[in-house]
Amino acid sequence: MTDLIQLRETFKGMPLTTVTIHDRPAWNAREVGEAIGYAQRGKRFASQITGEWADEFIEGQDYKVIGGKELQAFKALYFKGTGSVPLASNRGMLVLFESGLHLALVKTRKPKGVQLRRFLADKVLPQLVRTGSYRAEAEPQLPDLREQRLQQKADLEARRVAVLERNAQAEALREAVRALHNLGQIDAATLAAYEVQAAELVTGRDLSHLKPVGPTTWLTPTEIGRKLGLSGYRVGRLITELGLRGDFPGLARSYPHTRPHMDRPVQCFAYSPAAVRRIEAAALAGA
């Protein structure tokens, strides 16, 4: 730590000490917290900066935790002329630089926070400029780090919500098909196929190779194409020609289908073994 220059003022009857660290004004976070009305001598205010508000504060730009010889020098200057004795504790001290102090005072709900910002702008910072001990241009230019950190937090939250939504959709699908199976409306193979589809929702992967294939299995157009060696376009044309686009008992049934990249479910269809035989016959007739 070099060029320690102290400026002590009183705000609302509370001491407010400005210390210049490497040509940057800095304030003891706990002293600021106490001045604007935080309990435990401002301890709660300081803990919020590294806790609840940590995503918006950049260490080195907005604040610094000083310790060791740097802390001893800070305390020697901080208590100079006060008649108080520096605390013996060697625990780190959180100091706020100008950008961090303004950000913290914006975030706090304490009414005195606004008054302190005005006090700093009108009295403290102009005095530092006049003494020549404060050069604003010396501050690190790191304005993008805070935005990057906030964007990363937003991206993580969006991914978390997307995972929760996919899990909820998968569980709803499982409950629905299990209920249908218990009522005897779908067979075990169809139940297993829908269970695989639920796993696809959660993982975002194509797991159609895991779906059971048997005489009672209902298939999607993609699976029919794979089974018959036809393109998806060709299967779709055959389905249209056979008049099977829609819900037809024993032949075709619709179901909502969601992929991770989709905003909302789309209506898809599955076809019974009888319908698959019709499609196969139509394909052979048109060959």
Look up the domain containing 164 and give its range. 142-210
Is 58:145 a contact under the CB 8 Å cutoff? yes
Question: Do residues 191 and 206 share a domain?
Answer: yes
Domain boundary among 140, 165, 191: 140
Dig out the tokens for 125 from the structure. Answer: 């910072």
Count of other CB atoms within 10 angstroms of residue 133: 18
Question: Do residues 33 and 23 share a domain?
Answer: yes
How far is it, in rounded angstroms, from Cα 190 to Cα 178? Answer: 10
Q: Per-residue pLDDT tens, the chain, 287 aa: give them.
A: 444 445 566 777 777 777 777 778 888 888 888 887 786 666 788 888 888 888 888 888 888 888 777 777 777 766 665 544 444 455 778 888 888 888 888 777 777 777 777 777 666 666 665 555 544 444 444 455 666 667 777 788 888 888 888 888 889 888 988 888 888 777 787 788 788 888 887 887 777 677 665 555 778 888 899 888 999 889 999 999 999 988 888 888 876 665 555 556 667 788 888 899 999 999 988 76
Dig out the tokens for 140 from the structure. Answer: 């690190």
Question: Do residues 184 and 262 share a domain?
Answer: no
Radius of gyration of the chain (CA): 34
pLDDT at 137: 42
Domain boundary among 167, 186, 210: 210
- Beta-carbon contacts of 14 under 8 Å, excluding residues fewer than 6 positions away, are 31, 34, 35
Domain boundary among 210, 232, 263: 210
How far is it, in rounded angstroms, from Cα 16 to Cα 242? Answer: 84
Count of other CB atoms within 10 angstroms of residue 194: 21
Question: Do residues 59 and 148 share a domain?
Answer: no
Any idea what the CATH number is for the domain that residue 233 is in?
Answer: 1.10.1660
- Beta-carbon contacts of 86 under 8 Å, excluding residues fewer than 6 positions away, are 72, 75, 76, 78, 79
Question: Do residues 72 and 20 share a domain?
Answer: yes
Report the domain count for the chain.
3
Question: Do residues 40 and 69 share a domain?
Answer: yes
Question: Do residues 78 and 199 share a domain?
Answer: no
Burial of 118 (0-12, 13-18, 19+ CB in 10 A): exposed
How far is it, in rounded angstroms, from Cα 154 to Cα 281? Answer: 53
Question: Do residues 175 and 136 share a domain?
Answer: no
Dig out the tokens for 207 from the structure. Answer: 């797991």
Question: Do residues 13 and 136 share a domain?
Answer: yes
Question: Do residues 184 and 82 share a domain?
Answer: no
Question: Do residues 114 and 162 share a domain?
Answer: no
Is 67:93 a contact under the CB 8 Å cutoff? yes
Question: Do residues 60 and 105 share a domain?
Answer: yes
- Beta-carbon contacts of 90 under 8 Å, excluding residues fewer than 6 positions away, are 67, 68, 71
